[in-house]
């Protein structure tokens, strides 16, 4: 653990509302429960419904990745105010960056600009940014996620938000595409990606997360020339050739893939393909709340002997950590 902890490494794929430490979420739940008022428009779910949703999220009884996204409504019910957003962001940043056992040297946190009864998207993003900006630039940056379920006008609004905040010198470093992998039409994203790029924002896209994602969709997403890819589990040969040729960094989340059953075993994990080709990758956590993992544990999986882990040497693991640092959007 000493070796893993000392390695300078970047966490590049962590979703804010999926990374809330359990004690912070419990605290919010207690506050919600004690002030629960059915008439309050911020209180969309009853405490019982919230507990059921969080249980569902943590027990991951999934027949397909599709079912992973609904239970996030329970988390969102607890984080719908500015105060709650500040609390969870502070707790997530601290979980990765503070204390005796920091998980990483640099955290590129991502979140979907969200509006609620009490916050506009701008207010939500500013609440998150203020917490991110308490850390130096070399330690923390923010990516704004576009949810595949968003309408085009909302996607445009989010990219314009990212662009204007960046132009004001705020710490927005990139955009992401996430959300239910089978939702939305990805053929219309071009103008928004170009807009983000024109502002110097990095672009990372969740791609080919399930075997139901058509190969044409992956080729379309690759045609937007992203800087990084999330998961990239089911790319076909044609897409893989592009990824290798253009040296696009792939953010890989081992535990997430195993628990969501998109990969059967570490033996079968596509990380082996990228390692064989000495291709840029970043090992990441994705969502520590449902997956109960940590970045140190993901690195421990790299080093543990088979069948528990990949049995990589210290040199190989150090190279992976170095690639994660080199692939961050922080130097843009
Ligand atoms: P947020 O963006 O609200 O801070 O973080 C939670 C959201 O991230 C989820 O509602 C979902 O849209 C997205 N997300 C979290 N994990 C994954 C994942 O593994 N794949 C995809 N496609 N989206 C995810």
- Ligand 1 centroid to residue 179 C-alpha, Å: 5
pLDDT string in tens for the chain (332-residue length): 899 999 999 999 999 999 999 999 999 999 999 999 888 877 889 999 999 999 989 888 776 787 788 899 999 999 999 999 999 999 999 999 999 889 999 999 999 999 999 999 999 999 999 999 999 999 999 999 999 999 999 999 999 999 999 999 999 999 999 999 999 999 999 999 999 999 999 999 999 999 999 999 999 999 999 999 999 999 999 999 999 999 999 999 999 999 999 999 999 999 999 999 999 999 999 999 999 999 999 999 999 999 899 999 999 999 999 999 999 999 77
pLDDT confidence of residue 239: 98
Radius of gyration of the CA atoms of the chain, in A: 19
- Closest ligand 1 atom to residue 180 Cα is 22
**From ligand 1's centre to the CA of 178, what distance in Å?**
6
Whether 209 is a known active-site residue: answer: yes
Query: What pLDDT does residue 39 have?
Result: 85
Instruction: Report the relative pairing of strands 202-207 and 281-283 from DSSP bridges.
Output: unpaired
Q: Where are the domains of the chain?
A: 2-19+102-326
In this structure, the number of other CB atoms found within 10 A of the CB of residue 48 comes to 9
- Ligand 1 proximity of 145 Cβ (cutoff 6 Å): yes
Q: Is the CB of 112 under 6 A from ligand 1?
A: yes
The ligand 1 atom at the shortest distance from the C-alpha of residue 147 is: 12
Task: Give the pLDDT of residue 101.
Answer: 86
Helix (H, G, I), strand (E, B) or coil at 230: strand
Statement: 2-19+102-326 belongs to CATH 3.20.20.140: yes
What is the distance in A from the centroid of ligand 1 to the CA of 169? 26
Residue 38: its pLDDT value, please? 85
156, containing H or E segment: helix 152-167
Are 300 and 285 contacting, i.e. CB atoms less than 8 angstroms apart?
A: no
9 neighbors 324 (Cβ within 8 angstroms):
yes
Q: Which residues contact 31 (CB under 8 A, 6 or more apart)?
A: none
Residue 181: C-alpha distances to residues 200, 207, 238, 326 (Å): 26, 8, 20, 27
The verdict on the CB of residue 53 being under 6 Å from ligand 1 is: no
Name the residue of 14, 145, 290 whose CB sits within 8 Å of the most ligand 1 atoms, as the mutation to test its pocket. Answer: 145
């Amino acid at each position: 653990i000493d070796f893993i902890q000392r390695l300078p490494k970047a966490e590049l794929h962590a979703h804010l509302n999926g990374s809330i430490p359990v004690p912070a979420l419990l605290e919010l739940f207690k506050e919600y429960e004690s002030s629960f008022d059915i008439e309050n428009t911020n209180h969309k779910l009853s405490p019982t419904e919230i507990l059921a949703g969080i249980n569902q999220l943590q027990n991951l009884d999934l027949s397909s990745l599709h079912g992973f996204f609904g239970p996030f409504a329970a988390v969102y019910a607890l984080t719908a105010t500015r105060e709650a957003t500040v609390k969870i962001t502070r707790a997530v940043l601290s979980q990765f960056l503070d204390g005796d056992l920091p998980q990483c040297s640099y955290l590129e946190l991502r979140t979907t600009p969200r509006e609620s009864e009490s916050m506009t998207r701008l207010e939500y993003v500013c609440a998150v940014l203020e917490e991110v900006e308490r850390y130096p630039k070399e330690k923390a940056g923010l990516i704004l996620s576009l949810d595949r379920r968003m309408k085009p006008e909302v996607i445009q609004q989010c990219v314009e938000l990212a662009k204007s905040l960046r132009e004001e010198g705020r710490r927005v470093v990139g955009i992401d595409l996430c959300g239910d992998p089978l939702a939305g039409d990805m053929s219309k994203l071009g103008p928004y990606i170009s807009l983000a790029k024109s502002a110097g924002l990095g672009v990372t896209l969740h791609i080919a997360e399930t075997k139901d994602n058509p190969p044409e969709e992956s080729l379309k997403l690759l045609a937007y020339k992203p800087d990084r890819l999330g998961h990239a589990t089911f790319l076909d040969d044609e897409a893989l050739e592009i990824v290798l040729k253009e040296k696009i960094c792939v953010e890989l989340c081992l535990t997430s893939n195993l628990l969501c059953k998109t990969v059967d075993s570490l033996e079968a994990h596509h990380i082996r393909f990228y390692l064989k080709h000495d291709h840029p990758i970043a090992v990441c956590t994705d969502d520590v709340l449902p997956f109960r993992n940590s970045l140190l544990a993901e690195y421990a999986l790299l080093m543990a002997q088979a069948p528990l882990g990949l049995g990589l040497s210290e040199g190989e693991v150090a190279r992976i950590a170095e690639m994660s640092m080199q692939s961050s959007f922080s130097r843009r």
